[in-house]
Chains A and B, each alone.
Chain A
Amino acid sequence: MFVFAIRMLRDKWKSFVVYTIAAIAFLEMYIALFPVVRQRANQFDLVIKTFPPEIFKAMNIDPSSLSFANIESYLSSEYMSFLWPILAIIFAILLANYISINEIDKGTIETLASLPARRTRIFIERYMVGLLLLAGFCVISLFGAIPLAIFHNTEFILANFMTAAIGSFLFIWAVYSLATLFSVIFSEKGKASMVTGGVLILMYVINIISVLQTDLKNLQYFSFFNYFSGSELLAKNVYPEYAFLVLGGFALIATLGALFWFNRRDLSV
């Protein structure tokens, strides 16, 4: 029962620990610095106002919520805007690759496929473990800020972290599903990872262009980054329903597409 899931957990728990520890270590660094930053929050805010707002938009940061006066705004700009997505995206691609392409690349897929198990079972067990590990990463890498904030005598708003965890999980679920789809389409791990990374970079660029050029504004709807904003989630505690529907809907469709393709494709190449 759940042999493939248990085996994946045994194989991937070390990666999970490494990525979550890395996230916690960055959180600790930022939160430890926060009391000093907050003392000079007014000066930072003045400096921030001297920058053109387009720069912040290009970094997926809402300038109206950019302030170092509270921990949520501070973490949303320092941690959620760039560092957390990078860590989470790399971890999601790593987990997606485990489902099949690592084995196709190394040639171990024949051993796996010689076992009496439906491809659907292998896919679902592994996919769900990946999703579980990503959910765990989201919870620890965001709620991990709370004990650290308590330790450093910093006030926090729990509801904001809850919203950030949900929004972040939906974003990374969509990324994971995209990476899974490419990992079952291609037969080389490097190619699949590169295409996933390329599509995400393209989405990031599209999001920036749509912000900077009003005539291309509608392009923003084709970017995951339009539906994931650290400043909206953590600083403002806002998560629009349509973002939930778009990311969740995409994740479901991409997952079903990946499962369909995995069942049809040649495993031994």
Chain B
Amino acid sequence: MASIIEIKDFKKYFGKLHAVDGINLEVNKGEILGFLGPNGSGKSTTIRCLMGFNKPTDGVIKVFGHDMSIDSFKAKTRIGYLPGNVKLYDHWTGWDHIRFFEGVRGKSGNVNDLIGRFDFDPTAKFRHLSSGNRQKLGLILALMHQPKLLVMDEPTVGLDPLLQNEIYKVLQEMRDRGTTIFISSHNLPEVERLCDRVAIIKDGKLVAVESIKTLGDKKLHKIEVRFADKFNLSEFEINGVEKVEAVAEGLLITVGGDLNPVLHIISKHQIIDLEITHATLEDVFMKFYEKEVK
């Protein structure tokens, strides 16, 4: 399968700070890759170099075969970009932005469809828009020329669930049309829903590049359970359980992978309350780190 994005030995240093320290990654045509990492891990730095905004200290980033530190403008004809916190021109209206983009990229055939779909008012000035509407305008600008590669930096942060769902639908439709999507996110359910593969970056290094299925197997859940009867902490220390902690009248159990064996043991007891939550992305990172340390 053809690689749309090729990142080879990419490093970006800011003085003594090694923001990204030698990563290699390929993204294939039609794939949705989730780029995960905590704040300060090097996600945004990678995306900025991927888009050609910044120059790598070392290594090469190619998109559609173009070296993004030399001739990024050729690749950008086929890239749509949505930054996390959309910053546009305060005194321009939505139409001003759309026409400016059309002036550079050429006339778009689907602007009106996108405006209708996102229920966006393009006559308002950017400074008067809510954060959700700003994100809508950013999306329209990113999608209006029907890009072959979409690069998104936390696209749904701060959006209401309705708009989030609309964005997910749009992305899934784009994937069905063969668009490659590179999406950075903190939101694990979002990544699970959308992505085929994930790359996890921490402290400027890739700690894992996994298919979403493999990540799902490693996914952690936290089960907080309160019992009405007597229980023994050790009966929960079975295969797949990462940690068992005693809390008031119950246990906090961290489970990796399949939940069923633990739920089976819990079901043998009288339960007052039960809560199952996804572990945070940070917990998943820690799991990867523990593996690295071992």
Residues of A within 8 A of B (CB): 3, 6-7, 11, 106-111, 113-118, 264, 266-268
Contacts and interface: CB of A to CB of B under 8 A. Distances in A.
Interface of B: 48, 51-55, 73-77, 79, 81, 83, 85-89, 91, 100-101, 103-105, 141
Nearest to B86: A111
Contacts of B53: 109-110, 113-114, 266-268
A12 B13 CA distance: 37
Given A3-B100, A115-B105, 16 more contacts: A11-B91, A110-B48, A110-B53, A110-B81, A111-B87, A113-B51, A113-B53, A114-B51, A114-B76, A116-B77, A116-B104, A266-B53, A266-B54, A266-B55, A268-B48, A268-B53
B54 A268 contact: yes
A114 B81 contact: yes
A3 B98 CA distance: 12
A4 B87 CA distance: 18
Given A7-B100, A106-B87, A113 B105 contact: no
A264 to B, nearest CB: 7
Contacts, number: 57
B73 A117 contact: yes
B172 to A, nearest CB: 23
Contact of B89 (A108, A110, A114, A117): A108
A106 B79 CA distance: 23
Nearest to A119: B73
7 contacts: A11-B91, A108-B87, A110-B83, A113-B53, A116-B73, A267-B53, A268-B48
Nearest to A265: B55
A6 B103 CA distance: 10
Contacts of A118: 73
B76 A116 contact: yes
A16 to B, nearest CB: 16
A7 B54 CA distance: 24
Nearest to B48: A268
Sorted nearest first, the 9 A-B pairs with minimum C-beta distance are A3-B103, A116-B76, A266-B54, A114-B81, A107-B87, A268-B53, A116-B77, A268-B48, A115-B104
A182 to B, nearest CB: 20
A117 B104 contact: yes
Contacts of B89: 108
A108 B88 contact: yes
Interface centre among A107, A116, A264 (most CB of B within 10 A): A116
A264 B55 contact: yes
Contacts of B88: 108, 111
Contacts of B86: 111
A188 B79 CA distance: 28
Nearest to B12: A266
A157 to B, nearest CB: 43
A106 B88 CA distance: 9
